[in-house]
Structure 1
């Protein structure tokens, strides 16, 4: 009995699929409404958009302010062509504890020397070798969408001014 119900269900589903595939829906351009701007600009979905130029990476030596506690710092230089894999981590050629005095780069965080149990290690933890999983470069581009982000310090200042 159970197999018969399953067989009937499959047959009904196939029949519905056949009916839907045979029916055609005509969409007229007047029904579509006005075009809506999105990240593709005003290019319709059925047309190929002209891709934007590849942006330049910011190349500065200044450290950016962080927006929240424990935010990974951004990378202030290009990393095109850097080898970052389980065997080689080119970031450590400047940011390793033994290289910071000659490179002038900041040392990687002490948290990168901890294993998953919170124990400190003598070398960088194996789970911390893929730097650009958390750290990203910054490109010189205009924002694609509006942003009303307010950092915690600004929020606290607003709250304190309201309280006084």
Structure 2
């Protein structure tokens, strides 16, 4: 959320809705950060037109990126070379894994864009980041590379064991 966003408390939204809408309309980026109490996650209030603009920008950028990646192998190599600027932690991945991440990212971006759902992209990035964390820790990497017996499924926390 940009620092320039207007802010209100949730109680102001419910007690003074007209003032809250006015503040939203006067906001330079048409967004309003709504603070909630305690452990509740804050909210972002925006206009439909602003949300559609953001969606269009994300969709267009994603489509352009996908087209570039699919156009030529040199572009894929270039993206792999610049990945550390966007994701510094990829430096811990072997080059072939960095390339695999780039390909999987493009595929997931395309699928997520078609649904208008960013969650698969953020999940994929988190999964690859965890992989990089393993490569960054030589002791952990050594442990995970050891061969051993598969002990089967791990029960969910709190589940009864036989």
TM-score of the alignment, normalized to the shorter chain, above 0.5:
no
In the superposition, the TM-score normalised over structure 2's length comes to 0.22
Q: Which has the higher helix share?
A: 2
- The higher relative CO (CA closer than 8 Å, separation ≥ 6) is in 1
In the superposition, the TM-score normalised over structure 1's length comes to 0.21
Q: Which has the higher strand share?
A: 2
